[in-house]
Amino acid sequence: MLSSACAFAQSGEQLFPQQPGVVSYTYRNYFEKDMSGTLDMVKAVGFTDIEFSSLFGKTAAELRTLIDARGIKCSSFGVSYDDLANKTTEVAQNAKTLGAQYVRVAGMPHKGAFTLAEAQKAIEDFNRVGKILKEQYGLDFIYHEHGFEFQPYQGGTLYDYIVKQTDPRYVSFELDILWAFFPGQDPAALLNKYGNRYKALHLKDLKKGVHGNFSGGTTQDNDVALGTGQIDIHAVIIAAKKAGIEHYYIEDESNNVLTQVPQSLAYLKSIKK
């Protein structure tokens, strides 16, 4: 009887009690028009950690002043592949100015179906730049997949090949659970498989009935509030906790973020162990 009572009590505990961060792309349409007002709105929703994917026309110093004034931090700074590879010093300096720990790239150059040669070029760049960021600036590089990397290769995928061929001292990963699920992968299984290679997670959900592929693209309004789509968010959170994920970010690419983001936050608070 006692053990049953304990089990019942535990089942009522929140699985995800912490407040996630948010990706700036979620509020891109608002940041582009009014940076200060949008930061106020984001803070009012409850976010105090932002992964910025753009400076939105500001300098890094100007943006840092705005977020500091609101008690918001930037833990991760997203840049283009080209800037990472060719403007590494500028990228690093901006990340340091923002106070970010992570420099993130989402996607890599490819034409048509992603190939082994394109994966090998990315691996070379990631290892090279990741070492510079770590050793010269104390920053961590993380790669955010976009779905096309899961092309089959040698009994696994090219994504597996990238993870295995990159140096874990200098290259880590951010799992976007929608872009893992869309080409047919199980995001929880990936978290269990690669564990602490993952440092960050994009929380998002895919509309029911949508069928994925390796294109790396889908209609933005196929992003739906967490818990209303196809992805088993409960299983993802359990696996992410086991993997030791350090940063969780809500990303909603839809045009309904003012409605959906509060729904997603409420859903995360409702999940029980």
What is the pLDDT of the chain when averaged over all its residues?
Answer: 95
pLDDT recorded at residue 11: 59
Residue 176 lies in a domain: yes
Q: Identify whether the C-beta of residue 145 lies closer than 8 Å to the C-beta of residue 180.
A: yes
> What is the phi/psi pair of residue 265, to 5°?
-65, -40
Q: How far apart are CA 267 and CA 240, in angstroms?
A: 17
Residue 8 lies in a domain: no
* Structure confidence at residue 180 as a pLDDT band (50, 70, 90): very high
Report the number of distinct structural domains present in the chain. 1
Q: Is the pLDDT of residue 124 over 60?
A: yes
Q: How far apart are CA 189 and CA 178, in angstroms?
A: 13
Q: Is the pLDDT of residue 141 over 70?
A: yes
Largest Cα–Cα distance in the chain?
64
Mean pLDDT of 9-27: 88
* Structure confidence at residue 6 as a pLDDT band (50, 70, 90): very low
Instruction: Show Cβ contacts of residue 46 under 8 Å, excluding neighbours closer than 6 positions.
Output: 19, 265
Residue 2 lies in a domain: no
**Amino acid letter at 107?**
G
Q: Is the pLDDT of residue 119 over 80?
A: yes
Residue 118 lies in a domain: yes
Residue 1 lies in a domain: no
CA quadruple 135, 137, 142, 143: dihedral sign: negative
H helix intervals, the chain? 2-11, 28-31, 35-45, 60-68, 81-86, 88-98, 116-137, 158-165, 177-181, 187-194, 233-243, 257-270
The enclosing domain of 161 has a CATH number of 3.20.20.150
Strands 247-250 and 198-203: parallel
Left (φ > 0), alpha (ψ -120 to 50) or beta: where does 157 sit? beta
Q: Which two tokens stand for residue 18?
A: 């912490």
Q: Is the pLDDT of residue 4 over 80?
A: no
Residue 7 lies in a domain: no
Q: Is the pLDDT of residue 105 over 60?
A: yes
**Which domain does 258 fall in, by range?**
17-270
Mean pLDDT of 8-37: 90
- H or E segment to which residue 21 belongs: strand 21-23
Tens digits of per-residue pLDDT, 70-104? Answer: 999 999 999 999 999 999 999 999 999 999 999 99
Q: How far apart are CA 151 and CA 160, in angstroms?
A: 10
Residue 4 lies in a domain: no
Residue 127 lies in a domain: yes
Q: Is the pLDDT of residue 3 over 60?
A: no
**Amino acid letter at 146?**
H
Mean pLDDT of 196-202: 98
Neighbours of 130 (CB within 10 A): 24
